């Protein structure tokens, strides 16, 4: 299976999840390959989801079950240790108390990892800014782990709604993960909270930490050799010296069931025009093994507020509703949080103002994802059907077909 052909398949096409491509197939952990070895099983989020019924052990499941990541006890311990190492790199230590404001199942993993490093750790979830403020105060937190937009929204509400001074919380560390941060986010948070702010790149499948950086201008420093790699977008090939656009892939050598896999993350970096891929400007001072941080996404899933939305599932759901001819998913970040709007075009005028059809759309989409999708009905009709489209005003998503992205 190649990435290009996989991305170009019809969203509703059934994929072959035979033993040769089954991510959940049990393998001998002792036979795990070296990080640079091959060949690999090239797998996407959809491939992991297709193997959900055969995967065994503890399963790390995304909110919409589009990706199912098996974690044996040793795998889970390794994820926690890498995440603990990321917290240590961010300066978190035995005097700190950590509050994790991430969605599950990542929140529990991060809290468990933080308990290895800090004096105390708790996962409180991502919702409710006043509840988050209360949790930070009640637990005496010195460290906050959150998404970039979550932390920025929290700061905004402290100023504009709660009329509270961020400095009164006494945070010493803020760790951001799970999203592509807007420009100047790290520096702004550092100044407002008078805290050290680090960004951690986490696996979009397990939620565990893979790499970190201390500033927006710095490259990512991987937490383990050979675990995070660069690959060509249009073909299944590792490209450690890729200049320009490349996709981050995870090669989890040593994983109990995925040790021979190359997992396409759907996240894209832009490397230097020349020189090593460690820094966007091509500077030679990059640490050994450093890679650029992701600035885009690609493929059949779009990252919105830390959650991956499945475009094929949206398409299949809308195909079951009579009269839907076309749809477009619009994503923006005009304030501190992402907003997603699904605009639906019907094929006959009688459905445009029909409240029952609008309700059917809203209920169907509510069952797909925990992210709130605003539904809009196009005033015009379209007699012919067309594939769904994505309009990402953030500039993050490059397209569904990897082979067409340059």
- Is the predicted pLDDT of residue 62 greater than 80, yes or no? yes
Q: What is the DSSP string of 288-334?
A: TT-BPPP-EE-SSEEEETTEEEEHHHHHHHHHTSTTEEEEEEEEE-S
pLDDT digits (tens, 9 = 90+) for 271-321: 754 334 444 444 445 677 899 999 999 999 999 999 999 999 999 999 999
What band does 115 get if pLDDT is binned at 50, 70 and 90?
very high
What burial letters (b/e) apply to 242-267, b meaning 16+ CB within 10 Å?
Answer: beebbbbbbbbbbbbbbbbbbbbbbb
Q: Which residue has the higher pLDDT, 47 or 20?
A: 47
CB atoms under 10 Å from CB of 382, counted, come to 14
Does 238 sit behind a cis peptide bond, omega within 30 degrees of 0 on the bond before it?
no
- Is the predicted pLDDT of residue 268 greater than 90, yes or no? yes
Closest by CA to 175, choosing from 97, 113, 87, 106, is 87
pLDDT digits (tens, 9 = 90+) for 337-373: 999 999 999 999 999 999 999 999 999 999 888 889 9
pTM (two decimals): 0.86
Q: Which residue has the higher pLDDT, 309 or 24?
A: 309
pLDDT digits (tens, 9 = 90+) for 74-96: 999 999 999 999 999 999 999 99
What band does 2 get if pLDDT is binned at 50, 70 and 90?
very low
Average pLDDT, the chain: 87
Residue 328, burial from CB neighbour count under 10 angstroms (0-12, 13-18, 19+): middle
Please tell me the predicted confidence (pLDDT) of residue 293.
95
pLDDT digits (tens, 9 = 90+) for 172-192: 999 999 999 999 999 999 999
Average confidence (pLDDT) over 240-253: 84
Please tell me the predicted confidence (pLDDT) of residue 7.
36
- Is the predicted pLDDT of residue 251 greater than 70, yes or no? yes
């Amino acid at each position: 299976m190649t990435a290009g052909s996989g991305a170009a398949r019809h969203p509703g096409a059934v994929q072959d999840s035979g033993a040769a491509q089954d991510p959940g197939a049990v393998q001998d952990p002792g036979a795990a390959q070296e990080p640079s070895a091959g060949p690999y099983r090239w797998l996407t989020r959809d491939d992991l989801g297709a193997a959900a019924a055969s995967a065994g052990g503890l399963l790390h499941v995304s909110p919409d079950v589009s990706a199912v990541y098996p974690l044996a006890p040793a795998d889970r311990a390794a994820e926690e240790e890498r995440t603990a190492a990321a917290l240590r790199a961010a300066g978190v230590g035995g005097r700190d108390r950590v509050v994790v404001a991430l969605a599950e199942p990542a929140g529990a993993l991060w809290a468990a990892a933080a308990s290895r490093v800090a004096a105390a750790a708790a996962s409180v979830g991502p919702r409710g800014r006043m509840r988050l403020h209360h949790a930070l105060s009640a637990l005496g937190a010195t460290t906050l782990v959150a998404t970039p937009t979550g932390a920025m929204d929290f700061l905004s509400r402290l100023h504009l709604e709660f009329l509270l001074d961020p400095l009164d919380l006494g945070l010493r560390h803020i760790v951001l993960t799970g999203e592509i941060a807007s420009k100047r986010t790290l520096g702004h948070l550092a100044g407002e909270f008078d805290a050290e702010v680090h960004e951690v790149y986490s696996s979009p499948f397990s939620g565990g930490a893979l790499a970190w950086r201390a500033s927006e201008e710095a490259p990512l420093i991987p937490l383990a050799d050979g675990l995070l790699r660069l690959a060509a977008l249009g073909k299944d090939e590792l490209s450690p010296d890729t200049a320009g656009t490349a996709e981050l892939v995870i090669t989890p050598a040593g994983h109990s069931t995925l040790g021979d896999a190359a997992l396409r993350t759907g996240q894209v970096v832009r490397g230097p025009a020349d020189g090593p891929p460690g820094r966007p400007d091509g500077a030679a001072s990059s640490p050994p093994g450093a890679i650029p941080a992701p600035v885009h996404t690609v493929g059949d899933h779009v990252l919105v507020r830390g959650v991956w939305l499945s475009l094929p599932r949206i398409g299949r759901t809308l195909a079951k509703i009579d009269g839907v001819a076309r749809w477009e998913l619009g994503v923006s970040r005009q304030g501190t949080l992402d907003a997603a709007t699904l605009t639906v075009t019907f094929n006959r005028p009688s459905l445009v103002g029909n409240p029952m059809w609008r309700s059917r759309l809203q209920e169907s989409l509510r069952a797909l994802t925990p992210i709130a999708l605003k539904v809009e009905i196009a005033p015009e009709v379209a007699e012919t059907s067309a594939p769904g489209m994505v309009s990402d005003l953030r500039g993050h998503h490059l397209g569904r077909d990897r082979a067409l992205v340059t």
